[in-house]
Every structure is written in C-alpha cells, then in structure tokens.
Amino acid sequence: MSVCCCCVGSAPPRGGGGSKRQSMYDKYQDYSNKWDVTMCDAPCAEPCCCCYGCLPCTFLCANWQMRKRVLNAQSPGSGLKNYICVQGYVPKCCCGLWNPGHMGETHCPATCLCCEACCCPGMVITASRLLAMDMYAIQPDPCDNRLIRFNNCLQLLACICHILALCNDAFRDLACIIDCIADCVFLSTAGCMMGQLHRELDVRKKSQQGGGPVAPDLPGLDVIVVAPPKANTINERGDGNPPTFEDVDLEELYEPRTVEV
C-alpha cells in the first residue's frame, strides 16, 4: 500500500477555477498548525484507536463517538446540540432533498448521526476531520493527501469495474477483487483518520489543562523583569500620618533587573 501511495501526488487540491468548493479547500492551505501525528504515523501512535476505527464491526460506533467528541471539543458539554449532517461541509443539493441543517437534526440528532454513519461512512469521518482542522487551524499533510487520493482512486476503479461487468461478464471477477481491495483500503484509511483525530484531541485537551502553550527556551535572551511594589505596612514618616505620594520613591519601588534565561 505504501509503494502504491508513492505513485499518487501529494499536492493540495488548489486553484480549481475559483468555485465555492475549491475556495473551501484553499483555506486549509493558509492554516499554520500541523497535526501532532500524520495518518501514516497514527497506527503506531494510537494502535488501539486505529483498530477500533477500521474494524467493520466497530467502524460505525467509532464514527458516531468521534463526531460527538469533536463537537464537544468545540463546545464543551454541548453533546450533539451543534450537530448537523456532515457539519455542512456538503452543501444543499439534489433539489433540496439533501439540505444539511434542515433534515431533522434538531429534533433527533443522535438518530440522524447514526443514519449518517450508516449511509455516508466516508463523509462522517471526513466531516469530523475537517471540523477539527477548522477548530485548530491545521493544514493538510502531504502524506495524508496521498493516502486519501489513493483510496479515492481505488473506489473509482472499483466503480468502473462494476460498470464494465454489466456489459461483459469477464470483468465480474475483477470487479469483485478490486472491490474487496478498495474496501480494505477504505477501512484502513478511516482507521488512520480516527487515530489521528483521537491523538490530536488528546494533545489539545492536555494543552488546555496545562494552561496553554509554554514559552520557548531561548538561550542568551535578556528579559526585563519589573519587581512588584514593596508593601509598606509601617509608617516610615514616624509622625503618625500615612505616607503621601511625595514620600514614595518610585526608583526604589520598581527596580528592573536583568535575568539570564
């Protein structure tokens, strides 16, 4: 699989005529952050989560739980309150039959998410991933682009073989073989996405609990530190009256000092 992925380009889908969909993809290239682990490294970094997300018997449950987790990372404690079908990343189409946000999500979000996971397994994990990329301003990784494109090419090839099999029975066996390979690659790709998302959410959560990012260690940097005002609990004038502004020595109160970091 890795050898086949090398034959697929890693360049982002950019500059496609200025359409709305292309503009949506272009914005991700302007993001500055990166994934904590790529999809290629996700199986080693999060093996249990990748297995949970790629097994056919647990794939749907994993997608349901991951979407809920991403939504709660966006709005803690909201549950599925902010859920809409594919989070609006696929716009209205099919003469209004497909209209995210107006398909019953408000009344029964859990059921709608379950239907999305069953009927659109590819979009459910992709929408969760795109939502996380928007939340944390993460740009796509070239390795991830290769994996996703390789999966898409196999799905398209399987579809073409099935169409040819309708015209010629000689393609029937080939269509079944390509279909089986495409399914395995799809589940593997989805598992890698699941592990990548799980790792990213864990890292972001720990970062927030730890009080945000830590200042970098820059050797030789001189930092000017301002000392706090000295507390005067005893009247230094000795006449029974509180000290006035004229009695305060500002140079004594604020003594800047240089600290070598």
Backbone angles phi, psi at 225, to 5 degrees: -110, 130
Is pLDDT at 33 greater than 90 in this prediction? yes
Q: Tell me the C-alpha distance between 104 and 56, whole Å.
A: 27
Is pLDDT at 260 greater than 80 in this prediction? no
First-to-last alpha carbon distance for the chain, in angstroms, is 48
**Is pTM beyond 0.75 here?**
no
Is pLDDT at 15 greater than 60 in this prediction? no
Helix (H) or strand (E) holding 259: strand 257-260
All residues at 6 or more sequence positions from 246 whose CB lies less than 8 Å from its CB, including other chains: none
Q: Across the chain, what does the average pLDDT equal?
A: 79
Q: Tens of pLDDT along 108-156?
A: 999 999 999 999 889 999 999 999 999 999 998 999 999 999 999 999 9
High-pLDDT (> 90) share of the chain, %: 50
Residue 144: the pLDDT is: 92
Q: Tell me the C-alpha distance between 12 and 15, whole Å.
A: 9
**Do 227 and 257 meet the contact criterion of CB atoms below 8 Å apart?**
yes
Lowest pLDDT segment from 86-95, 228-237, 241-250: 228-237
Residue 71: the pLDDT is: 94
Reading the block at residue 70, the tokens are 């991403």
DSSP state letters, 173-217: HHHHHHHHHHHHHHHHHHHHHHHHHHHHHHHHHHHHHTTSPPPP-
